[in-house]
């Protein structure tokens, strides 16, 4: 290195379909593409394996188990019941019936030694899916009437009692601006659960509820 001058940097020279490396080495574009494909595959594999849930037939993580790494519309071939779960990554929705129907249970990362820990009504789990586009923020507008009519209230954080906070017992429509979030039928995050992802819901049946009763709202954490 000459005093007063920056060190020389390696020179990468391209001729035709080959990459000439410093020191005389040559790498073909086929090798470069293979390296690139392998790197992307490894990144994709790490991303997929980071989001998984293991479901167990018996309590305390005993009995037959099945690990889900993506949406699964029918679980009955893997086990006959589900009494515990371990969420290794991501947030998941368990459904009582196949094809994402029936009672919903939203599980964040952690361990659930029996179904009471996810406020389950029974040990029946027949489908599950990953909750996507979790922003870590919450912003929604709830309305006292269908089609976004009547009094409107804005929710920006988990709220254990909608009635105490806004003096209302029913939510007939909703706009989720940032989310997703979970509606609970009763206060203090009890009762039936309903996942609401970003979007507009003109009436309570669109988020799967039979009645407009919303007792509490919980933000889904990152």
- The verdict on residue 3 lying in a domain is no
Residue indicated by tokens 């009519």: 149
The two tokens of residue 48 are 């997929």
Same domain for 32 and 71, yes or no, is no
Tens digits of residue pLDDT in 47-95: 444 899 999 999 999 999 999 999 999 999 999 999 999 999 999 999 9
Q: Tell me, yes or no, if the pTM score tops 0.85.
A: no
- The verdict on residue 89 lying in a domain is yes
- The verdict on residue 197 lying in a domain is yes
C-alpha pair distances (Å), 204 with each of 32, 142, 209: 53, 11, 6
- The verdict on residue 2 lying in a domain is no
Same domain for 86 and 28, yes or no, is no
Tens digits of residue pLDDT in 120-170: 999 999 999 999 999 889 999 999 999 999 999 999 999 999 999 999 989
Last residue of a domain, one of 131, 161, 192: 131
- Whether the CB-CB separation of 114 and 107 falls below 8 Å is answered with no
Tally of domains within the chain:
3
- The verdict on residue 5 lying in a domain is no
Same domain for 80 and 35, yes or no, is no
Last residue of a domain, one of 110, 131, 152: 131
Rounded to the nearest 5 degrees, what angle is found at the Cα of 149, between the Cα atoms of 145 and 154? Answer: 90
Element (H, E) at 127: strand 127-131
């Amino acid at each position: 290195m000459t005093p007063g001058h920056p060190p020389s940097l390696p020179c990468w020279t391209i001729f035709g379909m080959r990459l000439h490396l410093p020191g005389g080495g040559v790498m073909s574009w086929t090798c470069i593409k293979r390296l690139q494909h392998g790197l992307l595959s490894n990144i994709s594999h790490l991303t997929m394996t980071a989001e998984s849930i293991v479901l167990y037939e018996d309590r305390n993580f005993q009995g037959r188990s099945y690990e889900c790494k993506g949406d699964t519309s029918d679980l009955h071939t893997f086990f006959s019941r589900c009494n515990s779960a371990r969420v290794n990554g991501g947030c998941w929705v368990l459904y009582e019936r196949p094809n994402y129907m029936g009672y919903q249970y939203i599980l964040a990362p952690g361990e659930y030694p029996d179904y009471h820990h996810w406020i389950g009504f029974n040990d029946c789990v027949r489908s599950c899916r990953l909750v996507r586009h979790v922003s870590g923020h919450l912003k929604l507008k709830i309305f006292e009437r269908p089609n976004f009519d009547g009094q409107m209230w804005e929710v920006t954080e988990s709220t254990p009692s909608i009635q105490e906070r806004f003096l209302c017992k029913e939510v007939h429509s909703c706009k989720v601006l940032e989310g997703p979030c979970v509606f609970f039928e009763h206060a203090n995050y009890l009762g039936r659960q309903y996942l609401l992802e970003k979007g507009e819901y003109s009436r309570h049946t669109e988020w799967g509820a039979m009645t407009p009763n919303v007792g509490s709202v919980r933000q889904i954490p990152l």
